[in-house]
Protein backbone atom coordinates (compact mmCIF):
# COMPACT_ATOMS: atom_id res chain seq x y z
CA UNK A 1 0.00 0.00 0.00
CA UNK A 2 1.71 3.20 -1.20
CA UNK A 3 0.96 6.34 0.82
CA UNK A 4 1.04 9.71 -0.94
CA UNK A 5 1.07 12.97 1.03
CA UNK A 6 -0.60 15.82 -0.87
CA UNK A 7 0.60 19.35 -0.14
CA UNK A 8 -1.25 21.11 -2.94
CA UNK A 9 -4.19 23.45 -3.28
CA UNK A 10 -7.43 21.76 -4.39
CA UNK A 11 -9.40 24.86 -5.32
CA UNK A 12 -8.17 25.21 -8.92
CA UNK A 13 -9.30 23.14 -11.87
CA UNK A 14 -5.63 22.46 -12.69
CA UNK A 15 -5.03 20.79 -9.32
CA UNK A 16 -8.26 18.80 -9.48
CA UNK A 17 -7.44 17.45 -12.93
CA UNK A 18 -3.91 16.65 -11.78
CA UNK A 19 -5.24 14.65 -8.84
CA UNK A 20 -7.83 12.95 -11.03
CA UNK A 21 -5.03 11.63 -13.24
CA UNK A 22 -3.06 10.41 -10.21
CA UNK A 23 -6.08 8.70 -8.72
CA UNK A 24 -6.70 6.99 -12.06
CA UNK A 25 -3.12 5.68 -12.07
CA UNK A 26 -3.49 4.47 -8.49
CA UNK A 27 -6.66 2.56 -9.38
CA UNK A 28 -4.87 0.92 -12.30
CA UNK A 29 -1.76 0.06 -10.26
CA UNK A 30 -2.64 0.37 -6.57
CA UNK A 31 -4.12 0.33 -4.10
CA UNK A 32 -2.72 3.66 -2.92
CA UNK A 33 -3.71 5.91 -0.04
CA UNK A 34 -3.78 9.71 -0.37
CA UNK A 35 -3.52 12.03 2.61
CA UNK A 36 -4.41 15.66 1.97
CA UNK A 37 -2.69 18.14 4.23
CA UNK A 38 -4.48 21.52 4.25
CA UNK A 39 -2.37 24.39 2.94
CA UNK A 40 -2.68 26.23 6.26
CA UNK A 41 -1.16 23.34 8.23
CA UNK A 42 2.41 24.53 7.71
CA UNK A 43 1.46 28.04 8.84
CA UNK A 44 0.06 26.61 12.07
CA UNK A 45 2.66 23.99 12.91
CA UNK A 46 5.69 24.95 10.85
CA UNK A 47 8.02 22.79 8.80
CA UNK A 48 8.68 20.47 11.73
CA UNK A 49 4.97 19.88 12.09
CA UNK A 50 4.69 18.80 8.45
CA UNK A 51 7.73 16.53 8.74
CA UNK A 52 6.43 14.99 11.96
CA UNK A 53 3.04 14.22 10.43
CA UNK A 54 4.60 12.77 7.26
CA UNK A 55 6.77 10.44 9.34
CA UNK A 56 3.93 9.38 11.63
CA UNK A 57 1.73 8.60 8.64
CA UNK A 58 4.68 6.77 7.01
CA UNK A 59 4.33 8.62 3.70
CA UNK A 60 6.14 6.99 0.79
CA UNK A 61 6.09 10.10 -1.45
CA UNK A 62 4.96 13.73 -1.57
CA UNK A 63 3.26 15.91 -4.18
CA UNK A 64 3.86 19.54 -3.26
CA UNK A 65 2.82 22.90 -4.66
CA UNK A 66 4.89 25.65 -3.16
CA UNK A 67 7.46 28.36 -3.60
CA UNK A 68 10.88 26.70 -3.84
CA UNK A 69 11.94 28.73 -0.81
CA UNK A 70 9.37 26.75 1.18
CA UNK A 71 10.07 23.17 0.09
CA UNK A 72 13.73 22.57 0.82
CA UNK A 73 12.82 21.12 4.20
CA UNK A 74 11.14 18.16 2.46
CA UNK A 75 14.61 16.79 1.67
CA UNK A 76 14.77 15.64 5.28
CA UNK A 77 12.08 13.03 4.63
CA UNK A 78 14.33 11.11 2.25
CA UNK A 79 11.37 10.06 0.08
CA UNK A 80 10.39 10.92 -3.53
CA UNK A 81 8.91 14.40 -4.00
CA UNK A 82 7.29 15.93 -7.10
CA UNK A 83 6.98 19.70 -7.16
CA UNK A 84 4.29 21.55 -9.06
CA UNK A 85 6.21 24.49 -10.56
CA UNK A 86 5.90 27.95 -9.11
CA UNK A 87 8.82 30.40 -9.32
CA UNK A 88 11.29 28.08 -11.02
CA UNK A 89 12.04 24.42 -11.61
CA UNK A 90 13.73 22.45 -8.87
CA UNK A 91 17.18 20.99 -9.45
CA UNK A 92 16.73 18.53 -6.60
CA UNK A 93 13.15 17.24 -6.80
CA UNK A 94 11.15 15.99 -9.78
CA UNK A 95 9.08 18.72 -11.44
CA UNK A 96 5.54 18.70 -12.72
CA UNK A 97 6.13 21.38 -15.30
CA UNK A 98 4.84 22.33 -18.72
CA UNK A 99 5.65 23.36 -22.24
CA UNK A 100 5.09 26.97 -21.26
CA UNK A 101 6.86 28.48 -24.27
CA UNK A 102 4.86 26.17 -26.55
CA UNK A 103 1.67 27.44 -24.93
CA UNK A 104 2.72 31.02 -25.74
CA UNK A 105 3.47 30.03 -29.33
CA UNK A 106 0.02 28.40 -29.65
CA UNK A 107 -1.63 31.61 -28.41
CA UNK A 108 0.35 33.78 -30.83
CA UNK A 109 -0.41 31.57 -33.83
CA UNK A 110 -4.09 31.57 -32.92
CA UNK A 111 -4.22 35.37 -33.00
CA UNK A 112 -1.94 35.65 -36.03
CA UNK A 113 -4.41 33.49 -37.99
CA UNK A 114 -7.04 36.07 -37.08
CA UNK A 115 -4.93 38.78 -38.74
CA UNK A 116 -4.08 40.87 -35.67
CA UNK A 117 -1.12 43.24 -35.76
CA UNK A 118 -1.12 44.35 -32.10
CA UNK A 119 -0.37 41.74 -29.43
CA UNK A 120 -0.28 42.11 -25.64
CA UNK A 121 0.63 39.86 -22.72
CA UNK A 122 -0.44 40.26 -19.11
CA UNK A 123 1.47 38.11 -16.64
CA UNK A 124 3.18 37.68 -13.30
CA UNK A 125 6.78 38.63 -12.64
CA UNK A 126 9.20 35.99 -11.30
CA UNK A 127 6.88 33.02 -11.96
CA UNK A 128 8.29 30.48 -14.42
CA UNK A 129 5.03 29.51 -16.13
CA UNK A 130 4.15 33.15 -16.80
CA UNK A 131 7.65 34.21 -17.85
CA UNK A 132 8.03 31.38 -20.37
CA UNK A 133 4.53 31.77 -21.78
CA UNK A 134 5.36 35.43 -22.41
CA UNK A 135 8.67 34.46 -24.06
CA UNK A 136 7.01 31.99 -26.43
CA UNK A 137 4.23 34.45 -27.27
CA UNK A 138 6.62 37.36 -27.86
CA UNK A 139 9.04 35.34 -30.01
CA UNK A 140 6.26 34.14 -32.33
CA UNK A 141 4.73 37.62 -32.57
CA UNK A 142 8.07 39.19 -33.46
CA UNK A 143 8.71 36.47 -36.04
CA UNK A 144 5.41 37.47 -37.63
CA UNK A 145 6.28 41.19 -37.47
CA UNK A 146 3.57 42.14 -34.98
CA UNK A 147 3.78 44.83 -32.30
CA UNK A 148 4.18 43.44 -28.77
CA UNK A 149 3.11 45.04 -25.47
CA UNK A 150 3.71 43.66 -21.99
CA UNK A 151 2.46 44.30 -18.47
CA UNK A 152 3.52 42.31 -15.41
CA UNK A 153 2.66 42.21 -11.73
CA UNK A 154 4.25 40.53 -8.73
CA UNK A 155 0.88 39.55 -7.35
CA UNK A 156 -1.01 36.30 -7.83
CA UNK A 157 -4.10 36.75 -5.65
CA UNK A 158 -6.99 39.16 -5.54
CA UNK A 159 -6.06 40.76 -2.22
CA UNK A 160 -2.59 41.77 -3.46
CA UNK A 161 -3.68 42.62 -6.99
CA UNK A 162 -5.59 45.69 -5.89
CA UNK A 163 -2.37 47.70 -5.64
CA UNK A 164 -1.69 47.17 -9.36
CA UNK A 165 -5.26 47.88 -10.45
CA UNK A 166 -4.59 51.49 -11.45
CA UNK A 167 -1.46 50.66 -13.48
CA UNK A 168 -3.19 47.79 -15.29
CA UNK A 169 -6.10 50.13 -15.97
CA UNK A 170 -3.78 52.70 -17.58
CA UNK A 171 -1.98 50.05 -19.60
CA UNK A 172 -5.18 48.59 -21.03
CA UNK A 173 -6.43 52.06 -21.94
CA UNK A 174 -3.12 52.87 -23.68
CA UNK A 175 -3.00 49.76 -25.89
CA UNK A 176 -3.65 50.30 -29.61
CA UNK A 177 -6.97 48.78 -30.61
CA UNK A 178 -7.84 46.24 -31.76
CA UNK A 179 -5.34 44.14 -29.79
CA UNK A 180 -4.93 40.41 -29.16
CA UNK A 181 -4.29 39.99 -25.44
CA UNK A 182 -2.95 36.74 -23.99
CA UNK A 183 -3.11 36.41 -20.20
CA UNK A 184 -0.82 34.02 -18.32
CA UNK A 185 -3.84 32.15 -16.91
CA UNK A 186 -7.63 32.38 -16.68
CA UNK A 187 -7.63 34.33 -13.43
CA UNK A 188 -5.44 37.03 -14.97
CA UNK A 189 -7.72 37.05 -18.03
CA UNK A 190 -10.70 37.61 -15.73
CA UNK A 191 -8.93 40.65 -14.24
CA UNK A 192 -8.55 42.07 -17.75
CA UNK A 193 -12.22 41.40 -18.50
CA UNK A 194 -13.31 43.18 -15.33
CA UNK A 195 -11.24 46.29 -16.06
CA UNK A 196 -12.35 46.39 -19.69
CA UNK A 197 -15.96 46.40 -18.53
CA UNK A 198 -15.29 49.30 -16.12
CA UNK A 199 -13.66 51.34 -18.91
CA UNK A 200 -16.14 50.45 -21.66
CA UNK A 201 -13.43 48.64 -23.64
CA UNK A 202 -15.25 46.16 -25.84
CA UNK A 203 -14.36 42.46 -25.84
CA UNK A 204 -13.68 41.08 -28.43
CA UNK A 205 -14.06 44.13 -30.72
CA UNK A 206 -11.30 46.17 -29.00
CA UNK A 207 -9.53 43.46 -27.02
CA UNK A 208 -9.57 39.81 -28.04
CA UNK A 209 -8.85 37.92 -24.81
CA UNK A 210 -7.32 34.48 -24.28
CA UNK A 211 -6.38 32.71 -21.02
CA UNK A 212 -4.85 29.39 -19.99
CA UNK A 213 -6.18 26.37 -18.00
CA UNK A 214 -9.75 26.36 -19.40
CA UNK A 215 -11.27 26.72 -15.94
CA UNK A 216 -14.98 26.69 -16.84
CA UNK A 217 -16.04 28.53 -13.71
CA UNK A 218 -13.60 31.42 -14.11
CA UNK A 219 -14.05 31.66 -17.88
CA UNK A 220 -17.82 31.88 -17.57
CA UNK A 221 -17.72 34.44 -14.76
CA UNK A 222 -16.74 36.88 -17.47
CA UNK A 223 -19.21 38.52 -19.82
CA UNK A 224 -18.34 37.81 -22.57
CA UNK A 225 -16.98 34.39 -21.63
CA UNK A 226 -13.23 33.87 -21.98
CA UNK A 227 -11.54 31.61 -24.53
CA UNK A 228 -8.78 29.53 -22.98
CA UNK A 229 -5.98 27.10 -23.80
CA UNK A 230 -6.67 23.66 -22.37
CA UNK A 231 -3.70 21.77 -20.94
CA UNK A 232 -3.23 18.01 -20.83
CA UNK A 233 -3.22 18.08 -17.02
CA UNK A 234 -4.99 14.82 -16.33
CA UNK A 235 -2.46 12.93 -18.41
CA UNK A 236 0.25 14.81 -16.50
CA UNK A 237 -1.26 13.56 -13.24
CA UNK A 238 -1.30 10.02 -14.59
CA UNK A 239 2.37 10.30 -15.58
CA UNK A 240 3.19 11.81 -12.17
CA UNK A 241 1.67 8.71 -10.60
CA UNK A 242 3.74 6.50 -12.87
CA UNK A 243 6.93 8.37 -11.95
CA UNK A 244 6.20 8.23 -8.22
CA UNK A 245 5.54 4.52 -8.50
CA UNK A 246 8.94 3.93 -10.08
CA UNK A 247 10.68 6.15 -7.53
CA UNK A 248 9.01 4.45 -4.57
CA UNK A 249 9.87 1.00 -5.94
CA UNK A 250 13.40 2.28 -6.64
CA UNK A 251 13.05 1.35 -10.31
CA UNK A 252 14.18 4.93 -10.90
CA UNK A 253 16.56 6.81 -8.63
CA UNK A 254 17.00 10.21 -10.27
CA UNK A 255 14.33 12.93 -10.42
CA UNK A 256 12.96 14.05 -13.79
CA UNK A 257 10.46 16.45 -15.34
CA UNK A 258 6.89 15.62 -16.32
CA UNK A 259 5.76 17.94 -19.12
CA UNK A 260 2.13 19.04 -19.35
CA UNK A 261 1.40 20.08 -22.95
CA UNK A 262 -1.17 22.50 -24.36
CA UNK A 263 -3.84 20.53 -26.21
CA UNK A 264 -6.30 22.90 -27.84
CA UNK A 265 -8.12 26.21 -27.49
CA UNK A 266 -11.64 26.22 -26.09
CA UNK A 267 -13.32 28.97 -28.08
CA UNK A 268 -15.70 31.29 -26.25
CA UNK A 269 -17.04 34.77 -26.92
CA UNK A 270 -13.89 36.72 -26.01
CA UNK A 271 -12.14 35.75 -29.28
CA UNK A 272 -15.06 35.20 -31.62
CA UNK A 273 -14.23 38.13 -33.92
CA UNK A 274 -11.57 38.27 -36.62
CA UNK A 275 -9.74 41.56 -37.05
CA UNK A 276 -11.21 42.22 -40.50
CA UNK A 277 -11.89 45.63 -42.01
CA UNK A 278 -13.70 44.30 -45.10
CA UNK A 279 -17.35 43.84 -44.14
CA UNK A 280 -18.00 41.33 -46.92
CA UNK A 281 -15.12 39.07 -45.91
CA UNK A 282 -16.25 39.38 -42.30
CA UNK A 283 -19.75 38.24 -43.29
CA UNK A 284 -18.37 35.29 -45.26
CA UNK A 285 -16.16 34.22 -42.34
CA UNK A 286 -19.08 34.39 -39.92
CA UNK A 287 -21.23 32.33 -42.28
CA UNK A 288 -18.55 29.66 -42.71
CA UNK A 289 -17.96 29.39 -38.96
CA UNK A 290 -21.69 28.89 -38.41
CA UNK A 291 -22.20 26.44 -41.30
CA UNK A 292 -18.99 24.47 -41.95
CA UNK A 293 -20.55 21.15 -40.88
CA UNK A 294 -22.96 21.43 -43.81
CA UNK A 295 -22.11 21.49 -47.54
CA UNK A 296 -20.73 24.94 -48.49
CA UNK A 297 -20.15 26.01 -52.08
CA UNK A 298 -18.39 29.13 -53.33
CA UNK A 299 -21.55 29.92 -55.31
CA UNK A 300 -23.54 29.99 -52.06
CA UNK A 301 -20.99 32.39 -50.57
CA UNK A 302 -21.11 34.65 -53.64
CA UNK A 303 -24.86 34.99 -53.26
CA UNK A 304 -24.33 36.46 -49.78
CA UNK A 305 -22.04 39.31 -50.84
CA UNK A 306 -21.84 41.66 -53.90
CA UNK A 307 -18.52 40.23 -55.14
CA UNK A 308 -17.57 38.14 -58.14
CA UNK A 309 -16.09 34.71 -57.54
CA UNK A 310 -12.59 35.86 -58.44
CA UNK A 311 -12.92 39.04 -56.41
CA UNK A 312 -14.19 37.14 -53.37
CA UNK A 313 -11.43 34.55 -53.53
CA UNK A 314 -8.74 37.23 -53.95
CA UNK A 315 -10.01 39.47 -51.17
CA UNK A 316 -10.50 36.52 -48.85
CA UNK A 317 -6.92 35.34 -49.37
CA UNK A 318 -5.58 38.87 -48.88
CA UNK A 319 -7.60 39.37 -45.69
CA UNK A 320 -7.23 35.93 -44.09
CA UNK A 321 -3.89 34.73 -45.43
CA UNK A 322 -5.55 31.48 -46.48
CA UNK A 323 -7.81 30.42 -49.33
CA UNK A 324 -11.55 29.96 -48.95
CA UNK A 325 -11.21 26.22 -49.45
CA UNK A 326 -8.40 25.89 -46.91
CA UNK A 327 -10.31 27.97 -44.35
CA UNK A 328 -13.38 25.73 -44.62
CA UNK A 329 -11.15 22.68 -44.44
CA UNK A 330 -9.42 24.02 -41.32
CA UNK A 331 -12.73 24.63 -39.53
CA UNK A 332 -13.79 21.05 -40.24
CA UNK A 333 -10.47 19.53 -39.15
CA UNK A 334 -10.44 21.48 -35.87
CA UNK A 335 -13.99 20.35 -35.17
CA UNK A 336 -13.12 16.77 -36.09
CA UNK A 337 -10.16 16.84 -33.69
CA UNK A 338 -12.44 17.89 -30.82
CA UNK A 339 -15.02 15.24 -31.71
CA UNK A 340 -12.30 12.59 -31.89
CA UNK A 341 -11.20 13.24 -28.30
CA UNK A 342 -14.79 13.47 -27.04
CA UNK A 343 -16.02 10.35 -28.92
CA UNK A 344 -13.08 7.94 -29.33
CA UNK A 345 -15.39 4.94 -29.80
CA UNK A 346 -16.99 6.35 -32.97
CA UNK A 347 -15.61 5.49 -36.38
CA UNK A 348 -13.60 8.04 -38.33
CA UNK A 349 -16.27 8.00 -41.06
CA UNK A 350 -19.00 8.93 -38.56
CA UNK A 351 -16.88 11.72 -37.09
CA UNK A 352 -16.00 12.97 -40.58
CA UNK A 353 -19.65 13.17 -41.60
CA UNK A 354 -20.49 15.08 -38.41
CA UNK A 355 -17.67 17.51 -39.22
CA UNK A 356 -18.90 18.28 -42.73
CA UNK A 357 -16.82 15.84 -44.80
CA UNK A 358 -18.64 13.73 -47.36
CA UNK A 359 -16.13 10.84 -47.22
CA UNK A 360 -12.82 9.78 -45.65
CA UNK A 361 -10.62 9.72 -48.75
CA UNK A 362 -7.29 11.43 -47.95
CA UNK A 363 -8.73 12.50 -44.60
CA UNK A 364 -5.83 11.14 -42.54
CA UNK A 365 -3.34 12.99 -44.72
CA UNK A 366 -5.35 16.22 -44.50
CA UNK A 367 -5.72 15.83 -40.74
CA UNK A 368 -1.96 15.38 -40.34
CA UNK A 369 -1.29 18.46 -42.45
CA UNK A 370 -3.28 20.65 -40.05
CA UNK A 371 -2.69 18.90 -36.71
CA UNK A 372 0.72 17.31 -37.16
CA UNK A 373 -0.60 13.81 -36.43
CA UNK A 374 -2.81 11.24 -38.11
CA UNK A 375 -6.21 10.86 -36.38
CA UNK A 376 -5.05 7.62 -34.73
CA UNK A 377 -1.80 9.18 -33.48
CA UNK A 378 -3.62 12.33 -32.33
CA UNK A 379 -6.10 10.28 -30.29
CA UNK A 380 -3.30 8.22 -28.76
CA UNK A 381 -1.36 11.31 -27.75
CA UNK A 382 -4.13 13.58 -26.47
CA UNK A 383 -6.96 11.29 -25.28
CA UNK A 384 -7.61 11.38 -21.54
CA UNK A 385 -6.55 8.27 -19.62
CA UNK A 386 -9.41 5.79 -19.24
**DSSP string covering 228-272:** EEEE-HHHHHHHHHHHHHHHHTTS--S--EEEEPEEEEE--GGG-
Q: What pLDDT shows up at residue 110?
A: 94
Q: The dihedral of CA 275, 277, 281, 287: what is its sign? A: positive
Q: Identify which of 335, 332, 303, 298 has the alpha carbon closest to the alpha carbon of residue 317.
A: 298
CA within 13 Å, CB half, 367 = 23
Taking the C-alpha atoms of residue 158 and residue 211, their distance in angstroms, rounded to an integer, is 17
Sheet of 257-260: strand order equals: 32-36, 2-7, 61-65, 81-84, 94-98, 257-260
Sheet of 179-183: strand order equals: 147-153, 118-124, 179-183, 207-212, 227-231, 262-266
14, 111, 121, 264 from 35: Cα distances, Å: 19, 43, 38, 32
Instruction: Give the mean model confidence (pLDDT) for residues 236-258.
Output: 92
pLDDT, the chain, mean: 89
Highest mean pLDDT among 4-18, 174-188, 248-262: 174-188
Taking the C-alpha atoms of residue 66 and residue 77, their distance in angstroms, rounded to an integer, is 16
Distance of CA 383 to the CA centre of its chain: 15
In the predicted structure, residue 325 carries a pLDDT above the cut 80: yes
With bands split at pLDDT 50, 70 and 90, how would you rate the model's confidence at 384?
A: low
Taking the C-alpha atoms of residue 369 and residue 101, their distance in angstroms, rounded to an integer, is 22
In the predicted structure, residue 160 carries a pLDDT above the cut 60: no
With bands split at pLDDT 50, 70 and 90, how would you rate the model's confidence at 386?
A: low
In the predicted structure, residue 149 carries a pLDDT above the cut 90: yes
**DSSP string covering 137-172:** HHHHHHHHT-EEEEEEES--SHHHHGGGHHHHHHHH
Instruction: Give the mean model confidence (pLDDT) for residues 266-281.
Output: 85
Between 321 and 28, name the one with better pLDDT.
28
57, 91, 209, 243, 315 from 257: Cα distances, Å: 27, 10, 30, 9, 47
Taking the C-alpha atoms of residue 202 and residue 317, their distance in angstroms, rounded to an integer, is 27
Instruction: Give the mean model confidence (pLDDT) for residues 185-192.
Output: 95
The SS3 assignment for 322 reads coil
Q: Which residues contact 60 (CB under 8 A, 6 or more apart)?
A: 2, 3, 4, 79, 80, 248
With bands split at pLDDT 50, 70 and 90, how would you rate the model's confidence at 163?
A: low
In the predicted structure, residue 67 carries a pLDDT above the cut 70: no
Q: What pLDDT shows up at residue 156?
A: 58
Instruction: Give the mean model confidence (pLDDT) for residues 302-321.
Output: 92
Taking the C-alpha atoms of residue 194 and residue 108, their distance in angstroms, rounded to an integer, is 23
In the predicted structure, residue 13 carries a pLDDT above the cut 60: yes
Amino acid sequence: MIRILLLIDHSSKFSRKLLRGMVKYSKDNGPWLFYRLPTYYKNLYGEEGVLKLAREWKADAVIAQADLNDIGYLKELGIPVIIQNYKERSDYFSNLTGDYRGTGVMAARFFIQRRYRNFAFYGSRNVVWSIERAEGYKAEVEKYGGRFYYFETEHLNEEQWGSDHEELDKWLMSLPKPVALFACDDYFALQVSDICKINNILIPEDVALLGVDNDDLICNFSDPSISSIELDVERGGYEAGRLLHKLVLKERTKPCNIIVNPVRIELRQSTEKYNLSNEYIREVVQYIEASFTTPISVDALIRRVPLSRRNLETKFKDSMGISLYQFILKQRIEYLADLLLANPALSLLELAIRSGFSDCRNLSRTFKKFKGYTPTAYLKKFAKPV
